[in-house]
C-alpha cells in the first residue's frame, strides 16, 4: 500500500515535473513567438544585416538568367527609379539612408508582380508594368514593396521558418553561413517572399502613408486591386494573376481597406496630373520592345 502510494506520488511528481518543465519551455517558446516578431527581428538582425542579405540575394538573382532575365534598358530603369526616389522623400520611410531602394526590371511579360528583398532591392516584372494603367498605380505598388522592407517582413518569416534553435546557433556560431544559405533559398524559390495576410495589410497601410507626400494620387492602389479583381474572372490572365495572388493575397479585402483609407484621410481626388497615365504609357511605349503589348494594346500601333 505504502509502496503503491509512494510510487503514485513519485509518478505524480514525475508527471508534474515534466508538465512544469514542458510548460516553462512552451512559455519561453511562446514568448519568443508572440512578442512582436518585428521586435525580435530588430533585436536579432541589424538593418545592415538586411542590406547584406539583400545584396547576396541580388547577386544570386543576377546569376540566374534562366529564372530572372534582367531587362537591360537604362532609360526605363531610370524612369522607374525616379518614381521610387519620389516615394523615398517621405519622412515615414526611415531606413532610406541604410537600405538601397534600387530598382531592377525583370523581362517577363507573363508575370504580373514585383517583390522586394530585405535591405530594399526592388524587382519589377515587365508583366506588371504592362498591366498597370498609370504612373500612380505603379508608385502605389512600389510604395507597398518598400513597406515590406521597412517593416522587415521577410526577416520575420525567416525567424519563424528557421526556428529558435537555428537562430540561436546562427547568432552564437557566426551568422554568415546560415543566412547566406537562407539567401540562396529565397533567390531559388522566392518562397519566403510570399506574404501573409497581415503583412499585406500592413504593407498597404504604410504604402498609403508613403504616397501622402508624393505627387501621386494617394488612393492609386485601388486601381490595381480593381483591375486584378476584374481580370481574375477572365481566363486570359488566369496564370499570371495566380502568380501575383500567391505572393500578394486577398485583393477584395485589401481593396475595401484602401477605400476606407481614402475616405478617412479625405484624399485629394484622382486627376490626370496625379495619375499620370499619358506620361506612363508614353514612356512604356518608347522603352519596351515593339511587337509586345501594354495590356492588350499593341505598342507598334500607338507609335
Question: Rounded to the nearest whole angstrom, what is the least distance from the CB of residue 195 to Zn ion in the complex?
Answer: 4
Alpha carbons 164 and 167: distance in angstroms, whole number: 5
Total residues interacting with Zn ion, rule: CB under 5 A: 3
Closest approach, Cβ 273 to Zn ion, in A, equals: 28
Task: Give, in order, the Cα–Cα distances in Å from 213 to each of 42, 146, 207, 217, 268.
Answer: 27, 15, 11, 10, 12
113 belongs to the binding site for Zn ion (CB under 5 A): no
Q: Pick between residue 149 and residue 299 the one whose CB is nearest to Zn ion.
A: 149
Distance, CA of 89 to CA of 69 (rounded, Å): 30
In whole angstroms, how close is the CB of 230 to Zn ion at the nearest point?
20
CB of 116 or CB of 167, closer to Zn ion: 116
Site residues for Zn ion, 201-220, by CB under 5 A, read: 203
Q: Tell me the closest approach of the beta carbon of residue 248 to Zn ion, in angstroms.
A: 4
The least CB distance from residue 203 to Zn ion, in Å, is 5
Q: How far is CA 201 from CA 37, 50, 88, 144, 250, in A?
A: 16, 22, 20, 10, 9
Asked if 281 touches Zn ion (CB under 5 A), the answer is no
Kindly write out the interface string for residues 176-205 of this chain, putting x where it contacts Zn ion by CB under 5 A and - elsewhere: -------------------x-------x--
C-alpha cell at 84: 521610387
Q: Is 266 helix (H, G, I), strand (E, B) or coil?
A: coil
Dist. CA 114–CA 140, nearest whole Å? 12
Q: Which is nearer to Zn ion, 88 or 195 (CB)?
A: 195
Which residue's CB is nearer to Zn ion, number 61 or number 141?
A: 141
Q: Based on the shown chain and the rule CB under 5 A, indicate whether residue 287 belongs to the binding site for Zn ion.
A: no
Of 180 and 194, the one with the shorter C-beta distance to Zn ion is 194
- Cβ atoms of 159 and 239 within 8 Å: the answer is no
**147/167 with CB nearer Zn ion:** 147
Least separation in angstroms between CB 165 and Zn ion: 29
Q: Long-range contacts of range 188-192, CB-CB < 8 Å, 24 or more positions apart?
A: 188/60, 190/115, 190/247, 192/154, 192/157, 192/158, 192/161
Of 215 and 249, which CB lies nearer to Zn ion in the complex structure? 249
C-alpha cell at 113: 508582380
Where in 221-250 is the site for Zn ion (CB under 5 A)? Answer: 248
Identify the three-state secondary structure at position 106: strand
Contact 159, 44 (CB under 8 A): yes
State how far the Cα of 111 lies from the Cα of 190, in Å rounded to an integer.
14
Q: Does 175 bind Zn ion (CB under 5 A)?
A: no
Least Å from the CB of residue 206 to Zn ion: 11
Q: Is 56 in the site for Zn ion (CB under 5 A)?
A: no
Applying CB under 5 A, the residues found at the interface with Zn ion are 195, 203, 248
Amino acid at each position: 500500500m505504502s509502496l503503491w502510494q509512494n510510487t503514485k506520488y513519485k509518478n505524480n511528481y514525475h508527471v508534474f515535473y515534466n508538465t512544469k518543465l514542458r510548460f516553462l519551455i512552451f512559455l519561453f517558446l511562446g514568448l519568443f513567438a508572440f512578442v512582436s516578431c518585428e521586435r525580435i527581428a530588430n533585436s536579432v538582425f541589424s538593418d545592415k544585416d538586411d542590406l547584406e542579405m539583400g545584396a547576396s540575394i541580388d547577386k544570386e538573382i543576377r546569376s540566374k538568367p534562366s529564372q530572372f532575365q534582367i531587362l537591360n534598358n537604362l532609360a526605363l530603369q531610370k524612369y522607374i527609379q525616379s518614381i521610387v526616389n519620389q516615394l523615398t522623400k517621405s519622412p515615414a520611410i526611415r531606413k532610406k539612408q541604410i537600405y538601397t531602394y534600387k530598382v531592377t526590371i525583370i523581362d517577363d511579360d507573363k508575370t504580373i508582380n514585383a517583390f522586394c528583398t530585405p535591405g530594399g532591392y526592388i524587382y519589377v516584372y515587365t508583366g506588371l508594368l504592362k498591366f498597370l494603367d498609370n504612373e500612380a498605380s505603379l508608385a502605389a505598388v512600389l510604395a507597398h514593396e518598400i513597406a515590406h522592407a521597412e517593416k522587415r517582413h521577410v526577416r520575420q518569416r525567416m525567424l519563424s521558418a528557421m526556428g529558435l534553435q537555428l537562430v540561436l546557433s546562427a547568432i552564437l556560431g557566426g551568422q554568415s553561413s546560415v543566412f547566406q544559405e537562407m539567401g540562396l533559398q529565397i533567390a531559388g524559390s522566392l518562397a519566403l517572399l510570399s506574404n501573409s495576410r497581415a503583412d499585406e495589410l500592413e504593407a498597404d497601410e504604410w504604402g498609403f502613408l508613403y504616397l501622402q507626400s508624393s505627387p501621386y494620387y494617394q488612393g492609386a492602389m485601388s486601381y490595381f486591386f480593381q483591375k486584378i479583381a476584374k481580370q481574375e474572372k477572365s481566363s486570359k490572365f488566369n496564370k499570371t494573376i495566380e502568380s501575383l495572388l500567391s505572393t500578394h493575397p486577398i485583393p477584395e479585402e485589401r481593396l475595401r481597406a484602401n477605400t476606407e483609407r481614402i475616405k478617412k484621410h479625405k484624399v485629394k481626388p484622382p486627376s490626370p496630373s496625379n495619375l499620370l497615365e499619358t506620361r506612363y504609357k508614353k514612356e512604356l511605349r518608347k522603352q519596351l520592345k515593339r511587337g509586345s503589348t501594354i495590356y492588350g494594346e499593341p505598342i507598334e500601333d500607338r507609335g
